[in-house]
Amino acid sequence: MSNDKIWQEYIEKNFDKFISSLKSDDFISGKKEIINDKDIDFLAPKKTYDCLRQIITQDAIKKLQNRFRAHKHRENRGIKNLQLKSHSLNMLDKFKAQVGADTLEEAIDFLLSPDYREYEHDVDLAKQRLGEGNFDSTELMVVNFTKRLQNYDRERLSLIIELAFNEGWKAAKQTKKRTGNARLEALNDCDLYNDVVKLTASKSDYYE
């Protein structure tokens, strides 16, 4: 796909969102303005930037240039799969909405790419708001903690989880499963226990 075609598809989808994200001091007039699409030439990036320079500052133009540069890089390098736990995806979705990112990929760029340095304040504010939220991240917390342990300590942790699980099982008054070893099957269905056991089996060491 040609650069101009990538630009046209990008700007058609993101122009209004970008303009609405600008602050008053991003406009040459010093106050927010409504920009009529009919007054802007979107055929190529340079033509669009030349039109916008009559309305918004060079720093604001640079923000748009950086965001498009990152988008074009994503388009050209192809797509890779990324596996996330559901609560991690939920957090990333919320962060994406907070910073006004177009895609989850761009949300990650907001966090990591030098092209998005101008948005550092928006990123910090979004992270602060997310930190005040209530996410079910117990599993993630334990797994990340386990990764920092020596394999011997991982084995002890998996034993602690198993003992805690067994105590909870004993405290239960009844179970619907009456055949086979219901307690062991329930333990094997425990995601938290399985995550720690997998790390133990891998014998990988974060403190070699």
pLDDT tens, position by position, 65-117: 988 988 888 777 766 667 777 777 888 888 888 888 888 888 888 888 888 88
Residue with more model confidence, 36 or 32: 32
Predicted TM-score of the model (pTM): 0.46
Which pLDDT band holds residue 64 (cuts at 50, 70, 90)?
very high
Domain match, 11 and 30 both: yes
Classify residue 45: in a domain, yes or no.
Answer: yes
Residue 70 to residue 91: CA distance in whole angstroms: 22
Domain match, 111 and 145 both: no
Which pLDDT band holds residue 156 (cuts at 50, 70, 90)?
confident
Mean pLDDT across the chain: 80
Which residues constitute the domain of residue 144?
138-202
Classify residue 69: in a domain, yes or no.
Answer: yes
Mean pLDDT along residues 149-165? 82
Task: Name residues whose C-beta falls within 8 Å of residue 182's C-beta, 6 or more positions apart in sequence.
Answer: 175
Classify residue 207: in a domain, yes or no.
Answer: no
Provide the pLDDT for residue 208.
42
User: Quick one: tokens of 15?
Assistant: 């122009």
Helices (H), the chain: 3-21, 45-52, 58-77, 86-99, 104-112, 120-131, 138-147, 151-171, 182-188, 191-202
Provide the pLDDT for residue 172.
67
- Residue 207: strand, helix, or coil: coil
Last residue of a domain, one of 42, 57, 77: 77
- CB neighbour burial string for 42-69, b if at least 16 within 10 angstroms, e if fewer: beebeebbeebeebbbeebbebbebbbe
Amino acid at 62: K
Domain match, 92 and 29 both: no
Which pLDDT band holds residue 28 (cuts at 50, 70, 90)?
very high
Domain match, 59 and 94 both: no
Q: Count CB-CB contacts under 10 A for residue 95.
A: 20
Domain match, 20 and 72 both: yes
Q: How many domains does the chain have?
A: 3
Domain match, 70 and 97 both: no
Domain match, 127 and 147 both: no
Classify residue 27: in a domain, yes or no.
Answer: yes
Domain match, 162 and 194 both: yes
pLDDT > 90 fraction of the chain, expressed in percent and rounded: 14
User: Quick one: tokens of 96?
Assistant: 């994406």
